Amino acid sequence: MKIGYLGPPGTFSEEALRAAQPDGAEPVPLPTVYDAVMAVHEGTVDRALVPIENSLEGSVNATLDALAVETRAVAIVGETVHPVRHCLIAARHLELAEIETVVSHPQANAQCARFIRERIGGARVLAAASTAEAVRVVAEEPGRPWAALGTRLAAELYGCEILRGGVEDVADNETRFVWLARADAGQDPSAGPWKTSLVFWGVGAQEPGWLVRCLSEFAFRGVNLTLIESRPRKAGLGHYMFFADLEGGDTDEGVSGAIEAVRGQTEELRVLGSYPAA
């Protein structure tokens, strides 16, 4: 089985993939989250593991947008939660006062914002496609006083030095990753407990109380929502799509009844996946 993930080697996505230890899997690093999602869509990989939510910075928009907008052929089939421990990494030993530039993925920069501000506030902050790519960039230019935020794995892979460990702003920082597969892949009905993820938007979205009416369909049936979030529909200002995670499988009576009731009040409702909860 080929499993795509956000590469290059050494990212937190690879750490999470290694921790899950799927038997006989062939890891396939891909340049972006979008590429990982679309590799499943195109069939070049059998599965993908992508980040969807962080405990400090919230949802990973690239994942939500790809699942909602770019493909209908990919479904969430599982999830896993992985602890995130950021390291400050350089190609050689540097004192914090010597660091002129910090480079990492925007999520990592945000998750370590307090450390950057208080300990290396004079450094400029640059974005990279991934934490591992940031470490690779720093490793290739050992003469520059640059540092990266990344994993211990990346420091080992690229022969760098860890200047500080655990530089995330909150010690129990963690990221939820989701397993993706083709929507027609099927699921093991014996697994559980279950969780269901939805996206919906509607012609009534401009009417007072429309969202309350939609969400009430779940409350009336005793279905607990664990996440609700809006994202632009990319159709002009004021037009949003709503993502929701809820407890239970989409074949449960209460869940299926609520989904159908909400579907009747929306322009579109899609089940992004019904899967065993972490």
Catalytically active residues are: 175, 177
- Residue 57 — φ and ψ, nearest 5°? -105, 0
**Mutual orientation of helices 210-220 and 253-263 as an angle, nearest 10°?**
160
CA dihedral 49→55→59→62, nearest 10 degrees, is -50
Say how many C-beta atoms besides its own lie within 10 A of residue 24's C-beta. Answer: 5
Question: CA–CA distance from 122 to each of 72, 102, 106, 125, 225 (Å)?
Answer: 45, 10, 18, 10, 43
Q: Where are the alpha helices (DSSP H) in 112-209?
A: 113-119, 131-140, 152-157
Question: CA–CA distance from 92 to each of 83, 89, 137, 140, 158 (Å)?
Answer: 27, 9, 13, 11, 12
Type of residue found at 32: T
- Residue 81 token pair: 């939660």
